[in-house]
Amino acid sequence: MSTNKKKNDGFANKQMLSRAIKDSFVKLNPKTQLQNPVMFLVYISAILTTGLFILSLFGIRDAKPAFIFGIALILWFTVLFGNFAEAIAEGRGKAQADALRAAKKDVEANRIPSLTERNQITKISSAQLKKGDLVIVNAGEQIPADGEVLDGAASVDESAITGESAPVIRESGGDRSAVTGGTTVISDWLVIQVTSEAGESFLDKMIAMVEGASRKKTPNEIALQIFLVALTIIFLLVTLALYPYSAFAASQAGKANQTSVTSLVALLVCLAPTTIGALLSSIGIAGMSRLNQANVLAMSGRAIEAAGDVDILMLDKTGTITLGNRQACEFVPVDGVDIKELADAAQLSSLADETPEGRSVVVLAKQQFGIRGRNLSGMNAQFIPFTAKTRMSGVDFMGNEIRKGAAEAVKEYILEKGGVYSASCEDAVKRISNHGGTPLVVAKNGKVLGVIHLKDIIKDGVKEKFADLRKMGIKTIMITGDNPLTAAAIAAEAGVDDFLAEATPEGKLKMIREFQQQGHLVAMTGDGTNDAPALAQADVAVAMNTGTQAAKEAGNMVDLDSSPTKLIDIVRIGKQLLMTRGSLTTFSIANDLAKYFAIIPALFMSVYPGLAALNIMGLHSADSAIFSAIIYNALIIVALIPLALRGVKYREVTASQLLSRNLLVYGLGGIAAPFIAVKLIDLLIVAIGIV
């Protein structure tokens, strides 16, 4: 999905602009306009003033034909600018959808009757596959449909979906068994059970979401729109009341002409919250687009908004807070053993250990004591692999036995050999555990040499990120299967607010429910089937794309990069969406206050000369004031489109600080901008003789 990310990072390209301009006219369809009540009012006003202009050509004049024509033209531009704001926001999604459609194609699938009948292959179009069918996919073939790996393990190229060129491993069992149609197997083979019908695949859902076809208005959007409609109705009633009032006032003052219908229509459009009305939809679409560009697929706009309101973050320790691989950081000798002897034995026992922990032991011995890998061919070495049953690994060579492993396992091994498991070794094990580390005891020929300290490495910058989240009032909770002592030490080092040790699916679910009962909004990540209940309960549930089908179905977002730290970015995007909508709403309403001073005094100065005192801008005439305000009303929509698309700059501050800043910048700024802009437009149109 991110193959075109670089191209779409800017405001827009030529292709997007041309498509948006075309869509701006297509959206003039009354059914489309009716979906936005505030802009529908402007649409009706444009039609009304156009009709008044046509009537004026036949002698039925509400005002000067040139004046009516100018107002009608500007109102049509206002409608088109509002359509353009929405169309340019949709343009990014359409560009992403086009790239995804290019990856989606009908391929030939190898359907098999069952796992035991793999040789009975039936060639079938991927469009004809049904949920539950079994297919076998070999190296070089495209996976024909979404599914679950039942057998095999293979490298899969998912660049068509994620934009990342590095292949990933997909295998049966565990939490990396889900595969996506449209990706390609590049080594080995997989037997896959289809989990979606044709047209309902993950790729189909992605296309629908990024294109906006399935986007529904969120509760916050609906609430704001109801508020805007209420304001518009109030201003409509006020404007309707002004027409008979102006007629009465003109007759009382002995004036021949009352305020024209065209002027009152222009007043209504300026009074109504047209700025935020025009940009409201584009803000929501742009927020979803920013999430898509972060390679996260949101199943609903409600999920993005919920991310902005989240105040509890539940994060897995491994891969999110820590690098995911424990590293050897210290050799701790016991009972007078030379530390170099311990390091040498530890390295020997780890030479065949291809785990990250094993490799880190070899590296640490080399760095601290210069001990390098040696030639084992003449030593008749026999390596003992680690097993879940023995919880040890090691090497036998030239009559020597070296073992390393969990403290309890090595203790049992030592006692069986008739050796002594000393108190100093137990103290070292406890000390390492209490500091959040994992102790590996090393023994040679039935004697304990010492302990290797394995440490979870905290990711760079994580502590600072958690501090920023704390400033925003978000509580972070680390979820881990470690014992409470280890979990507490890592939590303290990482700077999280709380932790859940020895976590179980039931424990996660219980904790989420307790927080929700207290009125909190909870976000969490997960990838396994055992995470599904908690994901289904969480307000914002981010499932990993590498995870099981159950996890993806339970979540309301899917991270295509399968990066647990993405949850922090999702919260930021959600908050930025809410900040942008709030800031532009503040600016729009503040704008209206300033426009009152531009139009209302100018409209009634001829009837009530005393209102000239309110003409604080010193506008040239009633016509120039109306023209200036209505032109500004149209141009400000265009000026704010980049801000609506990019979003208000995100800041890690408290809600009260954010409110104060937005009121200062967008509240006072919204009042000041029209005073300056309307005056400049007034001077310009008078100078060039428009009025």
Question: Are 629 and 617 within 8 A, CB to CB?
Answer: no
Taking the C-alpha atoms of residue 279 and residue 691, their distance in angstroms, rounded to an integer, is 30
Q: Is 604 annotated as a binding residue?
A: no
Q: What is the pLDDT of residue 3?
A: 39
Contacts (Cβ under 8 Å, ≥6 apart) of 518: none
Name the residue among 580, 579, 582, 557 with its Cα closest to residue 567: 557
- From the CA atom positions of the chain, what is the Rg in Å? 34
C-alpha torsion 20→25→30→32, nearest 10: -10
Q: Which residue has the tokens 């979003």?
A: 647
Q: Is 146 annotated as a binding residue?
A: no
Q: What is the pLDDT of residue 164?
A: 60
Confidence of residue 213 (pLDDT cuts 50, 70, 90): very low
Q: Would you give the distance in Å from CA 565 to the centre of its chain? A: 11
Q: Is 468 annotated as a binding residue?
A: no
Taking the C-alpha atoms of residue 104 and residue 202, their distance in angstroms, rounded to an integer, is 11
Contacts (Cβ under 8 Å, ≥6 apart) of 172: 149, 150, 151, 152, 153, 191
Confidence of residue 324 (pLDDT cuts 50, 70, 90): low
Sheet containing strand 327-333, edge to edge, reads 327-333, 447-455, 438-444, 400-405, 392-397, 382-384
Confidence of residue 638 (pLDDT cuts 50, 70, 90): very high
Taking the C-alpha atoms of residue 376 and residue 61, their distance in angstroms, rounded to an integer, is 104
Q: Is 353 annotated as a binding residue?
A: yes
Structure tokens at 49: 């003033």
Structure tokens at 570: 């999702």
Handedness of CA 171, 174, 176, 181 (dihedral sign): positive
Q: Is 357 annotated as a binding residue?
A: yes
Contacts (Cβ under 8 Å, ≥6 apart) of 153: 169, 170, 171, 172, 188, 190
Taking the C-alpha atoms of residue 337 and residue 333, their distance in angstroms, rounded to an integer, is 6
Q: How many CB atoms lie within 10 A of CB 253?
A: 11
Q: Is 391 annotated as a binding residue?
A: yes
- Arithmetic mean of pLDDT, 70-94: 88
Contacts (Cβ under 8 Å, ≥6 apart) of 264: 239, 242, 243, 246
Q: What is the pLDDT of residue 660?
A: 83
Taking the C-alpha atoms of residue 625 and residue 494, their distance in angstroms, rounded to an integer, is 60
Res 39 pLDDT > 90: yes
Name the residue among 130, 157, 160, 122 with its Cα closest to residue 146: 130
Q: What is the pLDDT of residue 425?
A: 92
Q: What is the pLDDT of residue 369?
A: 85
Confidence of residue 5 (pLDDT cuts 50, 70, 90): very low
Catalytic residues: 316
Taking the C-alpha atoms of residue 622 and residue 619, their distance in angstroms, rounded to an integer, is 8
pLDDT over 90, % of the chain: 18
Handedness of CA 492, 459, 528, 435 (dihedral sign): negative
Q: Is 388 annotated as a binding residue?
A: yes
